Amino acid sequence: MASLKTIFKLSNKGTCFENITINPRDGTLLVTRTDCPEVWRVDPVTGEGSCLVTIPDVASVTGICRLTDRAFALGAGNFDPTTGPEAGSWSIWILELFPNNEQPGLRKVAAIPPIGFINGIATWDANTVLATDCANGKVYSVDISKRDTFEVALEDETMTVPAGAPLPIGINGIKVHRTPSQTFVYYTTTMRMSLYRVPVSAELKAIGPVETLHSGSIVDDFIVLESSGTIYLCTHNENVVITISPDHQESKTVAGHKKKLDLAGCTACVLGQDGKRLYVCTNGGNSEPVDGITEPASIVELNLA
C-alpha cells in the first residue's frame, strides 16, 4: 500500500472537490468544486490553497483538462446534491494562466443545451475537448476554436444509466490514450461499475468493439499513465484508489479503506511532476459518510515510490 498524507483541506464540511489537474509551469494543482462554482489552486509543496477563479452564473464546476502549458478547459453548470443536475445549464469554459500572478483569463466557449450533465472532460487535440454527458450516456466533441460548436462523437449502451440504477449517473470520467499503433478513449460508467475503452480513428469515430477493463467498483475519475498504460482509478464511496496493470489482468488497492476517512469520497487523481506521487481529491465522504462522519473536501498525496 502507498503511504499517504493530507496536504490540503477546506475549512467546511459539505464541500466537494470534483476533478484535478496539474499546472506544468509550477507544479501547482488546479481543482474544481461542485458545491460552488470555483476552481482552486493548491501548492503541494507548501500545502497552501486558495480560490483561483469563480465561474459566473453557474452553481458548479466539474471536469478540467489541460490544453496547453497555460490554458485549461472547464465544464460548468448547475448541480444540486439533493435535486441533481439541471439539464441545459452546461457549458465549456477556457481558463488561462499568466505569469507573475496576473489575473487569470476566463471565457465561455460553448453552451451545450442538449447535455444533461457534464461530468468528465478530456483533451482530444489543440482545438477539441471531449465532454461526457453523464445523464444521457454520450460523449460530445467541442470545438473550442469556435463559438458554441459541438456534436455527439461517441455513444454506446455501456455509457448509459442501466435500468434500475439507484442514481442517474452514467458515463463519468474520460481520458484519451494514444499508443504507437492505436488511439483509445477510456471512460468509466459509475452505475455500471465498470471502466471501458474503445479504439477510435483520427476522426474520432469508434473503429472497434468496446472493451471492459475493470468491473465491480463504484468507478469515478482516473488517469492512464502515458508511458506504461497503468491506470489509477478513484472509487468514490468505496474510499480507495485502485491500480490496474497495463494488460488489464490485475487490479489491486493502492491506498485507502472503506471504513476510513483518508480517501473518503475520492473523486479524481493526477500524477505529480516527479512521477512518484499521486494527488487525489475528495468530497470528504459527503455522499456516503464513514460511520456517520464526514470531513471537508481535501487533497491527499500518495507516495508511489
Let me know if 149 is exposed, middle or buried by CB neighbors in 10 A (0-12, 13-18, 19+). middle
**For cell 468530497, what's the residue?**
283
Instruction: Dig out the grid coordinates for 55 from the structure.
Output: 465561474
Please tell me the distance from the alpha carbon of residue 240 to that of residue 64, in angstroms, as a whole number. Answer: 22
Please state the rounded mean pLDDT for residues 170-197: 98
**Residue 99: what pLDDT?**
86
Write a three-state SS string for the chain: CCEEEEEEECCCCCCCEEEEEECCCCCCEEEEECCCCEEEEECCCCCCEEEEEECCCCCEEEEEEECCCCEEEEEEECEECCCEECCCCCEEEEEECCCCCCCCEEEEEEECCCCCCEEEEEEEECCEEEEEECCCCEEEEEECCCCCCEEEEEECHHHCCCCCCCCCCCEEEEEEEECCCCEEEEEEEHHHCEEEEEEECCCCCECCCCEEEEECCCCCCEEECCCCCCEEEECECCCEEEEECCCCCCEEEEEECCCCCCCCCEEEEEECCCCCEEEEEECCCCCCCECCECCCCEEEEEECC
What percent of the chain has a predicted confidence (pLDDT) above 90?
97
Write out pLDDT tens, residues 5-16: 999 999 999 999
Write out pLDDT tens, residues 90-136: 999 999 999 877 899 999 999 999 999 999 999 999 999 999 999 99
Instruction: Dig out the grid coordinates for 91 from the structure.
Output: 457549458
Q: Are 281 and 266 in contact (CB under 8 A)?
A: yes
Write out pLDDT tens, residues 40-69: 999 999 999 999 999 999 999 999 999 999
Please tell me the distance from the alpha carbon of residue 40 to that of residue 49, in angstroms, as a whole number. Answer: 7
pTM above 0.85, yes or no: yes
Instruction: Work out the number of other CB atoms within 10 angstroms of the CB of residue 47.
Output: 14
Let me know if 135 is exposed, middle or buried by CB neighbors in 10 A (0-12, 13-18, 19+). buried
268: amino acid identity, one letter: A
**Residue 102: what pLDDT?**
86
Please tell me the distance from the alpha carbon of residue 114 to that of residue 121, in angstroms, as a whole number. Answer: 16
Q: Give domain 3-303's CATH architecture.
A: 6 Propeller (2.120)
pLDDT over 90 at 144, yes or no? yes
